[in-house]
Amino acid sequence: MAVAEGRLFPLLKAAAGQHWRDYAEHAFVKGLGDGTLPLASFRHYLVQDYIFLINYARAYALGVYKGETVEEMRYAVSGVEGLLKSELQLHLGYCQSWGLEEQDVLSTPEATGNMAYTRFVLERGLAGDYLDLMVALAPCLVGYAEIGGRLLADPGTRRDGNPYLPWIESYGGASFQAMASDACRHIDLAAERRIGGDFAAAPRFAALARTFEQATRLEVGFWDMGLAPPA
């Protein structure tokens, strides 16, 4: 299944232009698809992604406070619970399959690119409202679903002996695709509540598009970080 992107997300992605393509078609992503990504790069990415998920949970926790309706608060709570109760433990288990023990992960310093991205998301949530926060979060959640779905469907993706096939299957699978579709639906509802139904014509659209573009550029930086593991 493919992500149902709703109405606002495609407009934001189109406004991001080349930045989105730089993210979705990054050399790191291509290396996942053809299996040529260096193992050291993926291990470095895995550890930093765990640290990222901790701050991602903090951002959803901020969403509980910023939500203006019970539905928005419940959605944010579901994000916190999913990350803290299952996703982090699943991620640690995946790290272990790559020879990374929990202490290795927890003792690793946060990379600069990781820090820049997560603090940007939190800053947008603190300075703005619930919609600003959800837009800042969207490139990660929906972007990974797009990338995973495309790689999984691509006949050129290497299946036999590709160590990254489980990652592709996870983000390209039905469960994550449905989660991303729900996020797009939720962003539409949040936008309709705050800027009306004509998203592109709303005075605030330019600021939302700028937030989305900045978050997308930071996603590119996250892939760049993965390609440059510490010696």
**Contact between 72 and 190 (Cβ < 8 Å):** yes
Phi, psi of 20 (to 5 degrees): -65, -40
Residues 17/220, Cβ–Cβ less than 8 Å: no
Task: Write out pLDDT tens, residues 5-42.
Answer: 999 999 999 999 999 999 999 999 999 999 999 999 99
Q: What is the largest CA-CA distance in the chain?
A: 51
- Residue 70, classified by CB atoms within 10 Å of its CB into exposed (0-12), middle (13-18) or buried (19+), is exposed
Any idea what the CATH number is for the domain that residue 180 is in? 1.20.910.10
Rounded CA separation 134/11 (Å): 15
Number of structural domains found in the chain = 1
Contacts of 205 (CB under 8 A, 6+ apart): 11, 195, 199
pLDDT of residue 106: 86
Task: Assess whether pLDDT exceeds 90 at residue 46.
Answer: yes
pLDDT in tens, 175-218: 999 999 999 999 999 999 999 999 999 999 999 999 999 999 99
Q: Closest Cα partner for 44 from 102, 108, 107, 112?
A: 108
pLDDT of 1 reads: 63
* Residue 145 contacts residue 19 (beta carbons within 8 Å): no
The predicted structure's pLDDT at residue 90? 87
Q: Which is more confident, 90 or 12?
A: 12
Q: What is the mean pLDDT of the chain?
A: 96
State the pLDDT confidence band at 104, using cuts at 50, 70 and 90. confident
Instruction: Give domain status of residue 2, yes or no.
Output: no
What b/e sequence results for 26-57 when a residue is b if at least 16 CB atoms lie within 10 Å of its CB, and e otherwise? bebbebbbeeebeeebbbbbbbbbbbbbebbb
Radius of gyration of the chain (CA): 17
At 88, the pLDDT band (50, 70, 90 cuts) reads very high
The CB-side HSE value for 100 (13 A sphere, CA atoms) comes to 22
pLDDT band at 2 (very low <50, low <70, confident <90, very high): confident
pLDDT band at 168 (very low <50, low <70, confident <90, very high): very high
Average pLDDT over residues 99-124: 93
| Amino acid identity for residue 227 in this structure | L
Token pair listed for 224? 């760049």
Q: The domain containing residue 93 runs over which residues?
A: 8-226
How large is the average pLDDT for residues 66-77?
98
pTM of this structure:
0.96
Query: Has residue 81 been placed in a domain?
Result: yes
229: exposed, middle or buried (C-beta count within 10 Å: 0-12, 13-18, 19+)?
middle
DSSP 154: -
Q: Is residue 3, in this structure, part of any structural domain at all?
A: no
Q: Is residue 145 part of a domain?
A: yes
pLDDT at 91 over 70: yes
Q: What is the pLDDT of residue 6?
A: 97
Please report whether residue 231 resides in a domain. no
Confidence at residue 231, expressed as pLDDT on a 0 to 100 scale: 73
Q: Within a domain: residue 132?
A: yes
Q: What is the pLDDT of residue 96?
A: 92
Neighbours of 228 (CB within 10 A): 11
Mean pLDDT of 62-86: 97
Q: Which residue has the higher pLDDT, 190 or 3?
A: 190
